[in-house]
């Protein structure tokens, strides 16, 4: 279980893509206007989750990929100051299984864009922390403050 937690946190620590105020260019091959993408995603996020309007929400990454058979995909990831939560508030929690090892998690919000460049779907994904509140809070704040 600890390997899962460490792997999850390592993944989260390595996913930053670009500063939100940049336009990334690859000569005449491609460019990504990360500021525009983030603005559209943030507007969609606050419309879909109005409870976050007065909460600090941090941009984490933009993920743009081209799949051979499916075409392009684009999503944006955010974390917010209220992301830390008890595992019972997570979809990962299963009362029928022994979940005494993990008591806390943090959530990341993914905004998925349609092929026409508009945000269309929001998904919340939780990352497991640990059973100790102090180390879980430290892991959360270390991750949150890294963005």
Cβ(41)–Cβ(61) below 8 Å: no
* CA geometry: angle 58, 146, 41, nearest 5 deg: 20
Structural contact between residues 37 and 62, judged by C-beta atoms closer than 8 angstroms: yes
Q: Which residues contact 20 (CB under 8 A, 6 or more apart)?
A: 34, 35, 38, 59
The count of C-alpha atoms lying within 13 angstroms of the C-alpha of 95, restricted to the half-sphere facing its C-beta, is 2
Find tokens 């058979």 and name the residue.
69
Q: Which helix (H) or strand (E) holds 3?
A: helix 2-13
Q: Looking at residue 7, what is its pLDDT? A: 37
Please give the average pLDDT of every successive group of 10 residues along the chain, which has 147 residues. Answer: 40 40 72 89 96 95 86 92 90 62 91 93 92 93 93
Distance CA 52, CA 45 (A): 8
| DSSP state, residue 136 | H
The pTM score is 0.77
């Amino acid at each position: 279980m600890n390997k899962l937690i460490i792997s999850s946190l390592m993944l989260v620590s390595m996913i930053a893509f670009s500063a939100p105020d940049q336009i990334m260019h690859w000569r005449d091959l491609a460019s990504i206007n990360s500021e525009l993408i983030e603005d559209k995603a943030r507007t969609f996020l606050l419309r879909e989750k109005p409870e976050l309007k007065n909460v600090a929400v941090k941009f984490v990454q933009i993920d743009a990929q081209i799949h051979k058979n499916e075409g392009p995909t684009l999503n944006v990831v955010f974390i917010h100051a209220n992301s830390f939560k008890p595992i019972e508030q997570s979809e990962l929690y299963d009362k029928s299984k022994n979940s005494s090892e993990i008591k806390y998690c943090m959530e990341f919000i993914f905004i998925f864009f349609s092929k026409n460049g508009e945000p269309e779907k929001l998904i919340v994904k939780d990352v497991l922390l640990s059973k100790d509140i102090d180390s879980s809070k430290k892991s959360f704040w270390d991750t949150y403050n890294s963005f």
